[in-house]
Amino acid sequence: MPPATASDASTLARDFDLRHLDPAFHADPYPVYHALRAYEPVKRMPDGSLFLTRFRDVQAVYRDAKTFSSDKTVEFKPKYGDSPLYAHHTTSLVFNDPPRHTRVRKLISGALTARAIAAMEPGLVRLVDGLLDAAAERGRIDLIGEFASAIPVEIIGNLLDVPHAEREPLRDWSLAILGALEPSLTEAQFERGNRAVDEFVGYLRDLVARRRRAPGDPQHDVLTRLIQGEEGGEQLSEAELLQNCIFILNAGHETTTNLIGNGLVTLTQWPEQRAALLHEPSLIESAVEECLRFESSNQLGNRMATVGTEIGGVAIARGTPVTLCIGAANRDPEQFAEPDRFDIRRDPNRHLAFGFGIHQCAGLSLARLEARIAIGRFVQRFPRYRLDGEPTRGGRVRFRGFAEVPLELEPAASRTA
């Protein structure tokens, strides 16, 4: 396809509306992001909100948590009304400001120390190798359903010590609840999301009651840690406890699934980068960072202006919703040389895939570990894996990933046989 002309790009920027997007945007949003950055980097939406695409503007909003609030009690009321989805999203860690945010984050982070994450690595390697063994026997795999999504469900399930026999509904609940965060919501998505919150809360009430009777080790069991709270400090309310357990399962699941899936698909599209990783496995750490930048799992963040202010020279009234386009910021040529080139040796690579500031992802070290093990071992085990049909996109704007990716496999042994 020929490159877009300046008039094409200015038209893309002028006509952009986050609530009315065509299938081409879902397949490849980056031409639109480039157009917005060039022509309307602080884009006023038809609903009065602002959409930011420059790295410096997105980072500036992340830095200033007082001016740009994460609290969604006002913004989400028209969207969700008095529903289970409203109760969940206005109570979870990610959509709150200090002091509630600080209190909950401290409890979660205390169970995600470097030592605790390092202790997870042997079990993670066994899990990944088991999935790869099963795939090798079949000779093909759905990268998402049979690999990428299975890893974070297991890891986060272990963190909360959810019994293995009870983990099956977790992925569907997660997809339904996060799907309801899309900018434009259908009635079916709304109903599915509310049903998922109700079922999830019901399940967790029972799990919490069991854990209160038989506590785990708070150094490793996040649920026990949340139940017990800080020693001599505040306890979480029952609603805070239940909704933040849902948040932990959802946040750790969907974004990591997308990171693994996006990374392995992107490597099929950049064969020289894949060959470099195959021959230099030590590049996996920087390769994961480039996967995070190039195809950010979480493309959008949201804030609300608490006072009259300005961004990029544009005046903003108090109460204005602001959408932070992480996917666009991570392709900003002011910050990244040749931003549309996938380069696993890129250095420096100060992307915003995990956010920035007080709301930076609490589980980023765990997500990086999961991606390093999953992507690194997959490439080494199946150096010639290839797409076996067209991947199916997840169909969402906020969370960029695939619903299904058919792959044909060829194990490393076949190269020397």
**DSSP class per residue in 134-169:** HHHHHTEEETIIIIITHHHHHHHHHHTT--GGG-TT
Residue ranges covered by each domain of the chain: 39-416
Q: Is the pTM of this model over 0.75?
A: yes
Fold of 39-416: Cytochrome p450 (1.10.630)
Quickly count: other Cβ atoms within 10 Å of residue 2's Cβ. Answer: 5
The predicted-structure confidence for 87-108, as pLDDT tens digits, reads as follows 999 999 888 998 888 888 888 8
Average pLDDT over residues 141-165: 94
Triad 186, 188, 190: Cα angle to 5°:
70
The strand pairing partners of 303, in sequence order, are: 322
DSSP state for residue 358 in the 8-state scheme: G
Among candidate residues 343, 309, 337, 359, the one with its CA nearest the CA of residue 52: 309
Among candidate residues 301, 270, 241, the one with its CA nearest the CA of residue 100: 241
Token readout for 70 is 């994460």
39 touches 10 (CB < 8 A): yes
| Whole-angstrom Cα Rg for the chain | 21
Pairing of strands 386-387, 321-325: unpaired
Q: For residue 50, report the phi and psi dihedrals to the nearest 5 degrees.
A: -115, 150
Q: pLDDT at residue 58 above 90? A: yes
Q: pLDDT at residue 1 above 50? A: no
Quickly count: other Cβ atoms within 10 Å of residue 78's Cβ. Answer: 7
Residues with Cβ within 8 Å of residue 248, at least 6 apart in sequence: 108, 156, 159, 160, 222, 363
C-alpha span between 144 and 378 (Å, rounded): 13
Q: pLDDT at residue 2 above 60? A: no
288 touches 262 (CB < 8 A): no
The predicted-structure confidence for 334-386, as pLDDT tens digits, reads as follows 999 999 999 999 999 999 999 999 999 989 999 999 999 999 999 999 999 99
316 touches 256 (CB < 8 A): no
Task: Say how many residues make up the chain.
Answer: 417
C-alpha span between 297 and 363 (Å, rounded): 14
Share of the chain above pLDDT 70, in %: 96
pLDDT at 114: 86
The predicted-structure confidence for 160-175, as pLDDT tens digits, reads as follows 999 999 999 999 999 9
